[in-house]
A and B are shown apart, each in its own frame.
Chain A
């Protein structure tokens, strides 16, 4: 189908006005042709647009450079973080046993039962930061700041011996040597040797003194300082889940000393010697003490 578009040809000056005589509205068509040629071209900021194109070209170029920089940074970051991730050590103690960890700088950590300790093996000498949940005793070598993070607060030391407990809603820090800085909810406290601090439900619960060189669960001993026999016995009852009867014993002196917390018969033997008494075993868990009558 080869249709002829006379009007189109006429508009394009390929046909004269005469060839279209007889077409409806020729007057109007002529005017359309005449006036439509009088329109101005739309405004176009030719130079300005070119300038913007140049700007964008440059932006793209520098973007390209940035991308390559960004890419290498990403690669480096990726490798480092992989190394970081792979060198993170996760130590979890069993529910019924303690675990000893020696850090790269020879600092020692003793994890109590059912505790979790996390540190970075490779980066340890740059950043002595570890994470703890549960109970642990630390003997830190002198050096850069040593940080223990817990769910509740942060403990910072330079080199000392201390214990951190972070479990349930309790956060407790005990200092056994030197000084320990405890950060909790924006509050800072410094503990000196023999002091401890406990936060319970985000409130300071108690802050007082302890005796002994190490926590009893670490040294497997219990240290007593000038306490009555009944107090010692109360502790033993708690520690070994036993029942003790000392009603028949003459309490004549106070006790200062260390008792093992993992050897009941030895502990009882020591007390027997100290107080010159004897005990009768009623059953596995019950002991009755009487004064040892010298023959």
Chain B
């Protein structure tokens, strides 16, 4: 419905402009035009400035526009158009720019000259007179209708009746919707006058919606409908499905329609009146109608029960998957078709997640979309077509393909799924055509990387900061073996004694014992205790020998001693020395001769030497 009549005017106009070219291309020519010189109040008109000449392109800056704020408001400008013509080696350029205004005051006005400056010279357009006529007068024809109108009625009355006989209404399927749930908005024109043509002057503002227009017939189908007790001709002029993209209170701004309405021209009551009282010869008046604004309450999708894989699809859908053949040879292509069909926002549905089995070569899917805008809803289907080439034999399983959507009819999330598909891949003829992969063993492929799982066995808790090396147990374990060694040494000693190895011990201690006894003898070294002295020395000598040879000292007699020492293979002079000492002792003990102190001292030394000498050899 975008074939705008006004646009049509522009096009015609531009063609005219293009065709026009100054014969004598002066430096600059500036002309101005309006598309019509008589406009109705609140109606738009287009003002066009045209610059031509071979120097147009060297102009800098736009022409200065006349001030029309007294009777019109500026709506916008269309783009510039340019036409270059080369005639007989001369180039002429025509540039035009259109500005759209809306007349807002009744009366006769003049559009002042537009100016452009080039090389210090001002070029001006001629002023254009323009007449703005009243569109709606205060109407007394509220009760009048087409039939009741008499020929005596004035033209103004006819004009005034337009307001009551031409208006827009909207029909909306739902006022409270969920995000992405479509709402059908229909614009209807109600008319009781003859509308020769109409066009959309201003589209409704649909920010926050995704819009899907329903196709409309070129010539709207009309029907008759009663409204407020009167019969109107009604036609749907625009129908669209709105998918709100965000939650909240939304308002769709009014749509503006411009209609050309034929009005009978009856300025005189001549005989020709009846002839001219015909729509064909009527006068055409441009008239703007506005639709009422539309308010919508958009609800957010409930968070409760929202599936993880929810992609935003709202409506009612089903998903099907078909495969062209279930049995296939390796390296033969097969096609998997996944179709999501239903009503709702089909377009935004993303590619479904399909877990393809290993061993398939897969190509990006071919996506086809089929949107059906007929009837009162937007429905359709989206098909993903995958080409799969199996590389290995075996029964392959494509698990069920799932798809979740929100169903606004019952306000809950639903899930559509296909059945699983089993493909039996058998060995093809050209098995060897596959590069070596069929021959080598397949490596274990790491599909994902994740941390290892937690430990679940019962741990041994311990106090933080407690380490074995500074624990009590550690100290005990360090000290106990040392004590053990000490104990072992003692035990060894004890065992030695028990084992009767006294001879060794006696022998080790013999020297010490002998020296001790000699010390005793030294104490008795005086004339009065002569006897005791010799007894002690003898004791030392005998004791030493007894210890060394591990025999009982009390049981031995001097004569035996010599034999014992001889049997131990001790040198003769050592034995002789030792025996001399012993004999001296015996002699002095049993047949004491008064010996002097000096003699006793020298004997003491003699005995000591004998013991030392014996100790060295025994």
A, B: real partners: no
Chain A interfacial positions (CB closer than 8 Å to B): none
Chain B interfacial positions (CB closer than 8 Å to A): none
